[in-house]
Structure 1
């Protein structure tokens, strides 16, 4: 009913959500690996320190992601999106003026915290207003990461050429300004929907038995954690590796742009494929292709090999993320789906926390960036094997049945305070 009532606004909501995602996930998280080589040289950082900066972003995300659901219920999802994007904007601008490593750590922490305040509340808004079109809209949402990577890959060669050693600073500031524009867009378009909330009398034991101790959910959580560990390592260090093998920064930008371009379509692509062949089969395909793509740079460190690697990586990585999210909600009764999604996201954030730091240590210790890529390929192979053992989800109750028998869900509808469409 909500989707029918607000169909005319669906593309406005898609546009506003992508704008916010590009600013937060695209600029705030995915751009760091592309800008990092220039920051590393200018700030005289080691690879371990550079990896720790990416890890700090994940720490900020991990610290807040647990509380975001409660805060959204209390203050409204839109307010959190605005606040989170504001933090990201401030952190991006701050990176343009940092004079030392400690201030850089603080700015990256703000990026992580701000990202935690935006992504999940955005999903809440989209699913709340357009429940029957959630797949398409979440696909657009996830594509913001790829679009941000594409923009960064395109702009970094020009900024470093025009402004020399200061180019990376001006680029961060430029991203901060664009993020302020996305705040204005979100404030103008987004509204809080009626949000279904579990009643307080719901037994707490059920959460433990149905979600937290559910073996099917735990398996998805481990797989999602492995993906989280693996996906930031190439993003953080591959650009540096491309420069090390003798390619120019323009070629490096082109290679990374291939990944960003493919990532824009990856979520919607694999979402559609999974509707036809099943989530498990689609996830197996993305994990297998992704594992192979990370081996290619070590075996064929030439322009053509790196292009193929990033083509395959870009077309699968965002698909892995969206498929893991979808799988987590299918392992439980629909009543517990939001709880399961938040639970597995915690594992994903923990993986992000460990990945860049361990990857940076490995590179510093052995002086070999390909070793970090091979490590991620092995981990994705492990996730592939875990997925093979995954059974079909046990909960087969259809959404239409839930709508016909609302008493089954134990949901109460609460319209968030401030805004109604």
Structure 2
């Protein structure tokens, strides 16, 4: 494909392919678990605590891969890393369908996390290279909506498969999802390019032209991102997002089915609405952050999420659940897109991969702790209300922490 002859910048092909990668690695590889857990737990006899540990195992794999994704990207290139990571995720998901006990699911889903983490970091880093600061938030925002499409799909598809196949429907679902992830791995290798220079282009929306781009490249080695306090501040904020959202997306459907008495089909409708509403979250709030700043945008998103979590844990009537789902869905994937743009603003696009790996590692710790603690709390109390209330309180803390974030932009 001749990138220079397209009627639009090839960066938007990178965005579209990146969206498919997020659809696969996070939407199918991570968020589908919430729809699969009720039938899996019944078939395999899983406790609340074991369900939480399965989610935690996935996040642990995610965390470990984030630690080395920067090194892998330098050695193999972003495109090859994405393809291999998605292949690992897809293959392990296929194998989950054959698991017959908790340990097997835990081990295989750990491998899925490794593939998901490496893919996510590499995709975000690639987009930072393809777009200048003026379009970076919008581009990242378009990528993260891949998760929304996956949630819409799984919220409808998985209950249908379970109703058609019966007790082993979850096994068919894992096979189908794994095959889809593997297909995206092949597409990523065909369509993605590591940098605009490979296509003879400058970054889309680059403000200062070629001289600025090369100046950024030349200056890149001068800064050690691991000694930048602002990145750890961003990491702490991202940690709280990881801790809180992971509780919500892991246990919302289980709570609706086991505590509120909803059928799996109705719970799937709730889940699909989250997916639909989330399609607007990344582009809207990513673009908004380009205009009003990353700090104000993050505070606004956390306010929506805090209200959503508190309503889910309140035990109020079903109408309030719809409000909770609406609030969460509208901002669901806003924070990853804003965070990726904020990191690139801070360190510049050439160092964005390593820097985003650092804050994603901190974020991953939150993802590990959130579901495991929520599962243990639910195991002891017999309800997920306390877990959702904890998430709401920590999201409110994130608003306060974000308020102290100072503005900084590196082009």
Unpaired stretches in structure 2, ≥5 consecutive residues: 199-213
- 1:341 corresponding residue in structure 2: 356
1:164 equivalent in alignment to 2:170:
no
CA contact (8 A) 1:57 1:109 kept: yes
Deviations 1:335-394 (A, max 9, x none): 65444322211110111111111110111011111111000001111111111222333x
CA contact (8 A) 2:141 2:338 kept: no
CA contact (8 A) 2:27 2:151 kept: yes
Cα distance between partner residues in 1 of 2:290 and 2:219: 34
CA RMSD of aligned residues (A): 2.5
CA contact (8 A) 1:34 1:235 kept: no
Unpaired stretches in structure 1, ≥5 consecutive residues: 400-421
Residues 172 and 329 of structure 1: CA distance in aligned 2, closer, same or farther (over 3 Å): same
- 1:180 corresponding residue in structure 2: 182
- 1:99 corresponding residue in structure 2: 100
**CA deviation after TM superposition for structure 1 residue 332, in Å:** 4.8
Judge which range, 368-377 or 259-268, deviates more: 259-268
Deviations 1:295-324 (A, max 9, x none): 112335443221211110111231122223
Deviations 1:148-186 (A, max 9, x none): 111111112211110111111111111112122212322
Secondary structure of 2:29's match? helix
CA contact (8 A) 1:60 1:113 kept: yes
Describe how 1:173-212 pairs up with structure 2 within 5 A: 173-193=175-195, 194=197, 202=221, 206-207=223-224, 211-212=225-226
- 1:27 corresponding residue in structure 2: 28
Cα distance between partner residues in 2 of 1:149 and 1:334: 30
Cα distance between partner residues in 1 of 2:113 and 2:351: 26
1:217 equivalent in alignment to 2:239:
no
The TM-score normalised by the length of structure 1 is 0.86
Residues 99 and 312 of structure 1: CA distance in aligned 2, closer, same or farther (over 3 Å): same
CA contact (8 A) 2:140 2:286 kept: no
- 1:272 corresponding residue in structure 2: 287
**CA deviation after TM superposition for structure 1 residue 5, in Å:** 7.3
- 1:353 corresponding residue in structure 2: 368
- 2:248 corresponding residue in structure 1: 234
**CA deviation after TM superposition for structure 1 residue 3, in Å:** 8.6
CA contact (8 A) 2:122 2:353 kept: no
Residues 332 and 184 of structure 1: CA distance in aligned 2, closer, same or farther (over 3 Å): closer
Secondary structure of 1:107's match? helix
The TM-score normalised by the length of structure 2 is 0.88
Secondary structure of 2:280's match? helix
Residues 338 and 79 of structure 1: CA distance in aligned 2, closer, same or farther (over 3 Å): closer
Query: How many pairs does the alignment contain?
Result: 390
Secondary structure of 2:98's match? coil
CA contact (8 A) 1:221 1:328 kept: no
Residues 335 and 144 of structure 1: CA distance in aligned 2, closer, same or farther (over 3 Å): closer
**CA deviation after TM superposition for structure 1 residue 11, in Å:** 4.4
- 1:262 corresponding residue in structure 2: 277
1:82 equivalent in alignment to 2:83:
yes
Cα distance between partner residues in 1 of 2:220 and 2:345: 24
Residues 126 and 200 of structure 1: CA distance in aligned 2, closer, same or farther (over 3 Å): closer
CA contact (8 A) 2:138 2:290 kept: no
1:135 equivalent in alignment to 2:137:
yes
**CA deviation after TM superposition for structure 1 residue 142, in Å:** 0.9
Judge which range, 192-201 or 231-240, deviates more: 192-201
CA contact (8 A) 2:125 2:352 kept: no
**CA deviation after TM superposition for structure 1 residue 266, in Å:** 0.6
Secondary structure of 1:390's match? coil
Cα distance between partner residues in 2 of 1:289 and 1:200: 39
Cα distance between partner residues in 1 of 2:113 and 2:323: 31
**CA deviation after TM superposition for structure 1 residue 329, in Å:** 3.5
- 2:333 corresponding residue in structure 1: 318
